[in-house]
């Protein structure tokens, strides 16, 4: 992330001053290496995976609610059954999205490990 600092310095002490007498620090561009890029990508996929899980949970809960409403309200049972089916489809779709992001996260993790030298870091008792 690039930052621009606006701290005025004395002309004779400033390493960024030139013949035009700028006195402000120059903007620097930070080039991140591939390892950091893969770690950020892994974190992004992890967040998206959790989002998909929460969507599946919410849609599943709504489907169960509509199933209960269909039994409780026989006059509008057909409408509740249709809404239940729609919510169930949304839950399956959201679960599929979470599954997809889980595999993308694993792939980004593998790429980060390969870039880092191929060492696997074991966190268990027997590794």
pLDDT band at 34 (very low <50, low <70, confident <90, very high): confident
Query: What is the pLDDT averaged over residues 60-82?
Result: 96
pLDDT value of residue 107 = 93
Under a CB-based contact definition with an 8 Å cutoff, are residues 55 and 90 in contact? yes
Q: Which of 50, 38, 34, 56 is nearest to 106 (CA)?
A: 38
CA angle 52, 100, 112 (to 5 degrees): 110
Tokens encoding 51: 């989002």
As a whole number, the mean pLDDT across the chain is 81
Q: Give alpha helix (H) positions in the chain.
A: 34-72, 77-116
Q: What is the pLDDT of residues 46-69, one digit of tens each?
A: 999 999 999 999 999 999 999 999
Listed residue (21, 105, 126) closest to 8, CA to CA? 21
pLDDT tens profile 8-27: 544 454 455 556 655 555 55
């Amino acid at each position: 992330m690039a930052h621009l600092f606006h701290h005025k310095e004395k002309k004779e002490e400033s390493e960024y001053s030139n013949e035009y007498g700028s006195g402000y620090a120059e903007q620097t561009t930070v080039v991140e290496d591939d390892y950091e890029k893969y770690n950020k990508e892994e974190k992004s996929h992890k967040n998206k995976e959790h989002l998909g899980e929460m969507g599946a949970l919410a849609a599943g809960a709504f489907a169960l609610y509509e199933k209960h409403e269909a039994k409780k309200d026989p006059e509008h049972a057909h409408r509740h059954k249709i809404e239940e089916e729609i919510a169930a489809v949304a839950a399956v779709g959201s679960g599929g999205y979470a599954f997809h992001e889980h595999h993308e996260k694993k792939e980004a993790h593998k790429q980060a490990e390969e870039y880092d030298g191929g060492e696997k870091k074991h966190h268990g008792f027997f590794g």
